[in-house]
Structure 1
Amino acid sequence: MSVGSFHKQSASTGLIMLQANARQVKGFEQFAGLLPKAILAAERRAINKTLRWLRTHIARAVGRQERIGIAAVRQRLRAYTAGSNGQGKLWFGLNPIEASRAGRVREARSGVSVAGRRYQGAFFRQVYGNKPDIWIRTASKHFNASDYPDSEIAKAGGASSGWIAENDSRFPLAKAKISLEEVRPHFESWTSKAHQRLLVVMEQELNFELHKLSRRNGNG
């Protein structure tokens, strides 16, 4: 436990690392008599509980902000512990998410709607892959690149990112996606809140270990 919690981001991912600061843990003077194994057990449970708490709250916040179903956001979040240094990690995929996963898709003659978004001129169909998505022909007068982020024109060899060449590239299509760029500024506040939560849960778990130790010694 040499450092506190922190976060870092890349072009496509965000990573929050939770770790109790050694100085802060030493501040729990009443736990000085605990065995090292008991302290490690308490720390491990505190990390796992805080990761679950953080995953739930981020999924709700992102789902609310971007109007995306919470279940779809949760699929972008991966929580795990790393090594023996008492560190927990929460990975968040920040690439644009398929609009078809945001909620219930409704298709009409004029286009497709989902989660309060309207894609005029688009259609809902299985074109590429094993499930249907929301597509639009790039030649359509309704095509707006901002509704189809993370897309590159397909090369002759096949599809690239959100684009696919239909009928030998004569009718290029773009897949509707939702950008997650607007959630990036929140990583610092999420990390801070999670670290404070970790310290609270850590104290609870240390109390639990202290109670077990007291009972084992016949003092409880």
Structure 2
Amino acid sequence: MSIGSYSEVKTNSGMLTVQVSAEDIKAFADLAILVPKAAANAQRRAINKTLGWLRTHIARAVGRQEKIAVRAVRQRLRSYPVAGGSMRGKLWFGINPLEASRAGRARQTKAGVSVAGRRYRGAFYKKVYGNQADIWIRTASKHFDRADYPDSDVTSSKGVSSGWIAENSDRHPLAKAKISLEAVRPHFDSWSRNADERLLQILRYEMNYELQKYLKGTRRV
């Protein structure tokens, strides 16, 4: 039985499932019985449009709250539109820490690096691995603050783990600046409720559109 849209939050990601509740479907039962294919098409379009709306508004809200470029948040959102016979769409959101260099335009200064209103004293902006520059700091620096480098835990004096890179040798380990997205976790429930409201609004429009097409066709017979 369809319970409508809902959310699931895990360690590094959250999933929003968008679907029409059984109660809402009853409101359009006559059309569904009369022209089931048209009703299914309306439902599919409504869910997919709601996914697009949700992705846009979540990206804007998170970008504004966390002071992160909207494009960077959108890269963490992945839509799975309705496919096949399953009348449900999904929106995946990766909420593990985001590289600070993606929050906006990073600027190197003598004191460190600034980006999107954040300042990382003692840090430097350069390519260490891969083709993209990131914000790094030597862990031995007096300016190193673990709060600015989440998801970066060293297991031993010589070990290297998530977020930590040893430049040339273990003598000079580096930490990559990242931004925690933990603050978005409480919002998943409200996002799923907003999705339900928006889905019903669009579904009414799409069902009416299909009904008008059907009635127009019958008048021609």
With the shorter chain as reference, the TM-score category is over 0.9
Aligned equivalents of 1:154, 1:114: Cα separation in 2: 29
- In structure 1, the residue matched to 2:147 is 146
- In structure 1, the residue matched to 2:15 is 15
The AA in structure 2 aligned to 1:40 is A
What SS class does the counterpart of residue 90 from structure 1 fall into?
A: strand
- In structure 2, the residue matched to 1:59 is 59
The AA in structure 1 aligned to 2:199 is L
Q: Provide TM-score, normalisation by structure 1.
A: 0.94
Residue 165 of structure 1, CA deviation? 0.7
- In structure 2, the residue matched to 1:74 is 74
Aligned equivalents of 2:191, 2:42: Cα separation in 1: 23
Residue 30 of structure 1, CA deviation? 5.6
Aligned equivalents of 1:154, 1:56: Cα separation in 2: 39
The AA in structure 1 aligned to 2:120 is Y
Superposed, 1:94-173 pairs within 5 Å as 94-153=95-154, 160-173=161-174
Aligned equivalents of 1:31, 1:203: Cα separation in 2: 12
Residue 79 of structure 1, CA deviation? 0.8
The AA in structure 2 aligned to 1:14 is G
- In structure 2, the residue matched to 1:208 is 209
Residue 33 of structure 1, CA deviation? 5.1
1:154 touches 1:163 (CA, 8 Å); kept in 2?
Answer: no
What number of residue pairs does the alignment pair up?
A: 220
Identical pairs, percent: 60
2:158 touches 2:170 (CA, 8 Å); kept in 1?
Answer: no
Long gaps (5+) in structure 1: none
Structure 1 window deviating more from structure 2 (17-26 vs 146-155): it is 146-155
Q: Provide TM-score, normalisation by structure 2.
A: 0.94
Residue 161 of structure 1, CA deviation? 2.1
Distance 1:129 1:154, change over 3 A: farther
What SS class does the counterpart of residue 218 from structure 1 fall into?
A: helix
**Structure 1 runs of 4+ off > 6 angstroms?**
154-158
2:32 touches 2:39 (CA, 8 Å); kept in 1?
Answer: no
